[in-house]
């Protein structure tokens, strides 16, 4: 129950409540900062209670009567259009203005092309570490070679979708022998990316010599970029 999670509850407040009650996130965050994600999804009755806590700087636990003073800085985020939600009566105007002292609007991921590859690398590192698997230079080069596939995808789920994809990818890269990370492998493993591959311009591929120059003489990275084996790369380079 979100209300009990935020504001805490007293013993016996509801079936299954913990003996002695429990402090909510506002009490736990006293003197610090509380991040409320997807606040646009919060039900109206809970919005009313949240506004009261922010205005009065005190919280009353579910099933309780004694207010507890809290001093908390609140940071909130949402993917919703809160101004439209306010017009439709789905989000309180007074809460919106109480929260929007400083507003930052982050563009969707597909508009931040330069962020995609660094974020993918970061998420893949974390996911592999959770599986006790290393993030090698070969994997970094494989991601770099797959940059075109990644940046041409629309990312409707934004950063969450990218993180989820890298978690899935890590499951396959954590086994022995570790498969080669190539654009083709990425599209095979993540069909969402494969559906967008037809939109990638045909002239995108370079000659072996151009790829070698692009990756400063790194033959493995150049071969991965072209989606071919090192043997095939060497043969084409000699021809």
The CATH code of domain 109-204 reads 1.10.8
**Selection from 2-16, 54-68, 189-203 with the highest mean pLDDT:** 54-68
> What size, in residues, is the chain?
239
Model pLDDT for residues 109-156, shown as the tens digit of each residue? 988 888 999 999 999 999 999 999 999 999 999 998 888 889 888 899
Distance separating alpha carbons of residues 209 and 202, to the nearest angstrom: 18
Cα 113 from Cα 91, distance rounded (Å): 32
Domain ranges of the chain: 2-99, 109-204
pTM above 0.75, yes or no: no
State the average pLDDT for the chain.
87
**pLDDT at 202 (0 to 100):** 41
**Structure confidence by residue, pLDDT tens digits, 69-98:** 999 999 999 989 999 999 999 999 999 999
d(CA 37, CA 79): 9
Q: Do the beta carbons of residue 227 and residue 194 sit within 8 Å?
A: no
Distance CA 138, CA 220 (A): 8
Question: Which CATH number is associated with domain 2-99?
Answer: 3.40.50.300
Where residue 12 falls among pLDDT bands split at 50, 70, 90?
Answer: confident
Q: Is the pLDDT of residue 216 over 60?
A: yes
pLDDT value for 167: 96
The reply to whether 2-99 and 109-204 are identical in fold is no
Query: For the residues 231-236, what does the mean pLDDT come to?
Result: 78
Residue 113's pLDDT is 85
Alpha carbon 2 to its chain centroid, in Å, reads 22
CA 154 to each of CA 142, 167, 168, 192, 197: distance values in angstroms, whole numbers, following the listed order: 21, 19, 18, 10, 11
pLDDT (average), residues 156-170: 94
């Amino acid at each position: 129950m979100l209300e009990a999670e935020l504001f805490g509850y007293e013993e016996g407040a509801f079936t299954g409540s913990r003996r002695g009650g429990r402090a909510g996130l506002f009490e736990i965050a006293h003197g610090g900062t509380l991040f409320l994600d997807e606040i646009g999804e919060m039900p109206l009755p809970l919005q009313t209670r949240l506004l009261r806590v922010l205005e009065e700087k005190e919280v009353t636990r579910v099933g309780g009567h004694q207010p507890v003073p809290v001093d908390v800085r609140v940071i909130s985020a949402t993917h919703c259009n809160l101004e439209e939600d306010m017009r439709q009566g789905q989000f309180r105007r007074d809460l919106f203005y109480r929260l929007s002292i400083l507003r930052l609007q982050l563009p969707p991921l597909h508009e931040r092309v330069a962020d995609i590859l660094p974020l993918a690398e970061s998420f893949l590192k974390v996911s592999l570490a959770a599986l006790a698997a290393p993030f090698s230079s070969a994997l970094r080069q494989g991601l770099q070679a797959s940059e075109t596939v990644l940046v041409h995808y629309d990312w409707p789920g934004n950063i969450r979708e990218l993180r989820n994809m890298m978690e899935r990818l890590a499951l396959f890269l954590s086994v022995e022998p570790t498969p080669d990370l190539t654009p083709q492998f990425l599209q095979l493993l993540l069909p969402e990316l494969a559906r967008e591959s037809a939109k990638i311009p045909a002239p995108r591929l370079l000659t072996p010599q151009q790829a070698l120059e692009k990756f400063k003489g790194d033959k493995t990275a150049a071969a991965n970029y072209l989606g071919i084996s090192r043997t095939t790369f060497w043969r084409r380079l000699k021809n």
